[in-house]
């Protein structure tokens, strides 16, 4: 078996972009993943996620491969763990991460560098994962290096990618941090923290900052609606201030893996310490409630047009969690669709990136012909402004409820 420079545990939205960047920098990279379809795609020169293009994978000239066999990790000088850290309800689920690290422990050898990238609460890497690795009899900081560096991937963002987004790195020891920093400097700038817990906390702070500010503007949009004020014009006006204000726009809700989930790790961990994270808790409640407020606005708009909700057809435009990506994790389209179907409405969707929308006990079918769907729907709801949308056509909908502030016509209603 050939020797690989880097073993990437998980080649999804976070792991594959880094794997590609490292291979492009001249490393031999092998991706280990339990999903055979992802592995097959990479080995065929195709990308299984929209954070990387097929062309980027195909251009690597054999420096990137993938396998479902964890034995390949034993041949890796550096092992990077990009396992998911989901939440079940409001409770963090660290099982996928611990299973991944147990897999790494089974192939751990002296001299390797193990880096954890999965988002988690401070103290996870040294408090939970280090003991798993040390069951081998090898000691972190002595026999192998251990570090934490949170992933920074923004699906759909073409301006900031791996190469121009600085990395935060924290090591168990100074030597661990230095080696991890040297590793990441192959592809981007690096900021080294005092330790791994500071790096873990930094990631959650980044996403909590966004969660809180999005909650602020979402709740503000509800107040503006109640007062008959145009929230879009108001935010645009505030945005002209060159200092002391950072622009956030309201929307149908917060989706993706990071913002709705990551603050919950610190909220939950704070609770185990007898502490609270009240601002994050409040922001989470506001953003979780936004899709239901939007669904209620849609239903009232339908009723005001003289059509009973139970007889209405609603077309959702853009069911991914953000524009220009195929990622539907935690998309606000699900609770909106569920709430409207529970009221008896027929809900359809159109999205150039998604072939439908599913949740336990329900599904919304995708309609391919946008023009025909717009003509059929009693109200069309613009949830995401994809670049691939024909906005002129959408603006000619029979009735449009726009959660993006993009379309102003006589037949449109803004959030």
Within 64-121, where are the H helices?
95-105
What is the C-alpha separation between 245 and 134, in angstroms, rounded?
Answer: 47
258 among known catalytic residues: yes
Within 228-324, where are the H helices?
231-238, 262-272, 278-304
* From 82, 176, 224, 258, the catalytic residue: 258
Do 54 and 47 contact (CB within 8 A), yes or no?
yes
Torsion angle defined by CA atoms of residues 326, 332, 335 and 337, in that order, rounded to the nearest 10 degrees: -60
Strands (E), 3-96: 4-9, 29-32, 64-67, 76-81, 87-88, 91-92
What's the N-to-C CA distance of the chain in angstroms?
A: 58
Torsion angle defined by CA atoms of residues 209, 181, 97 and 14, in that order, rounded to the nearest 10 degrees: 70
C-alpha neighbours within 13 Å on the C-beta side of residue 394: 27
Catalytic center residues: 258
């Amino acid at each position: 078996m050939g020797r690989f420079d880097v073993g990437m545990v998980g080649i999804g939205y976070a792991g594959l972009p880094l794997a590609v960047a490292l291979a492009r920098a001249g490393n031999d990279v092998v991706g280990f993943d339990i999903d055979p379809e992802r592995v097959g795609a990479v080995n065929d020169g195709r990308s299984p996620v929209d954070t990387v293009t097929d062309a980027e994978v195909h251009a690597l000239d054999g420096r990137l491969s993938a396998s479902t066999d964890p034995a390949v990790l034993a041949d890796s000088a550096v092992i990077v763990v990009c396992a998911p850290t989901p939440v079940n309800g409001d409770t963090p689920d660290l099982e996928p991460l611990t299973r991944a690290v147990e897999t790494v422990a089974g192939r751990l050898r002296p001299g390797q560098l193990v880096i954890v990238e999965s988002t988690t609460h401070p103290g996870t890497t040294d408090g939970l994962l280090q003991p798993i690795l040390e069951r081998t009899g090898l000691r972190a900081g002595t026999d192998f290096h251990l570090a934490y560096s949170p992933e920074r991937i923004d699906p759909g963002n073409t301006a900031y990618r791996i190469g121009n987004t600085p990395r935060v790195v924290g090591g168990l020891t100074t030597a661990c941090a230095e080696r991890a920093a040297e590793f990441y400097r192959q592809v981007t700038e690096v900021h080294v923290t005092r330790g791994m817990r500071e790096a873990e906390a930094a990631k959650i702070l980044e996403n909590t900052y966004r969660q809180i500010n999005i909650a602020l503007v979402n709740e503000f949009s509800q107040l503006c609606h109640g007062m008959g004020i145009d929230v879009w014009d108001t935010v645009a006006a505030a945005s002209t201030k060159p200092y002391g204000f950072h622009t956030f726009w309201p929307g149908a809700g917060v989706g993706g893996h990071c913002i709705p989930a990551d603050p919950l790790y610190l909220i939950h961990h704070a609770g185990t310490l007898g502490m609270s994270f009240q601002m994050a808790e409040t922001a989470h409640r506001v953003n979780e409630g936004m899709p239901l407020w939007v669904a209620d606005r849609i239903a009232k708009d339908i009723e005001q047009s003289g059509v009973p909700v139970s007889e209405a057809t609603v077309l959702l435009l853009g069911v991914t969690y953000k524009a220009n990506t195929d990622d539907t994790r935690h998309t606000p389209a699900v609770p909106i669709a569920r709430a409207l179907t529970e009221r008896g409405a027929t809900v359809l969707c159109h999205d150039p990136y998604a072939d439908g929308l599913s949740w336990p006990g329900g599904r919304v079918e995708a309609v391919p012909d946008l023009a025909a769907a717009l003509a059929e729907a009693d109200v069309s709801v613009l949830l995401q402004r994809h670049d691939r949308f024909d906005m002129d056509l959408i603006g000619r909908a029979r009735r449009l409820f726009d959660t993006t502030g993009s379309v102003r016509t006589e037949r449109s209603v803004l959030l």
